[in-house]
Amino acid sequence: MNFYVRATGANRYAGGTDKWLKVRSIKKEVYAYVLEVRFNGSQKFVAIQKNGPTKNLEFGMGTWPNMQPISHVRLIEGMTK
């Protein structure tokens, strides 16, 4: 299954784009999960907490362009199994 993340609101252009980016990997750190995405040939990282807020981020699951919106908890559970 493919998972995607997109920045919205105040973060919209913080990473250089407002497009949906495919989540390549997830890594558990001490206080958060770190998502790896690639944009223009370079790696970008996004930190999210399982029990914390995810303001200005949207998540999706499925195949492009028929994605379904999901929560950050679903993304973490789906990628860490």
CA 11 vs. chain centroid, Å, equals 13
The structural domains of the chain, with segments of one domain joined by +, span 3-79
- Output the pLDDT for position 53: 85
**Residue pointed to by tokens 């370079």:** 42
Omega before 53 cis (within 30°)?
no
Structure confidence by residue, pLDDT tens digits, 31-64: 999 999 998 888 989 999 988 888 889 999 999 7
Which pLDDT score is estimated for 13? Answer: 77
Distances in whole angstroms, Cα of residue 77 to Cα of each of 15, 28, 73: 24, 12, 6
Task: Outline where 1-81 has alpha helix (H).
Answer: 72-79
Separation between Cα atoms, residue 15 and residue 73, nearest integer Å: 22
Which pLDDT tens digit goes with each residue over 12-37?
A: 877 778 889 999 999 999 999 999 99
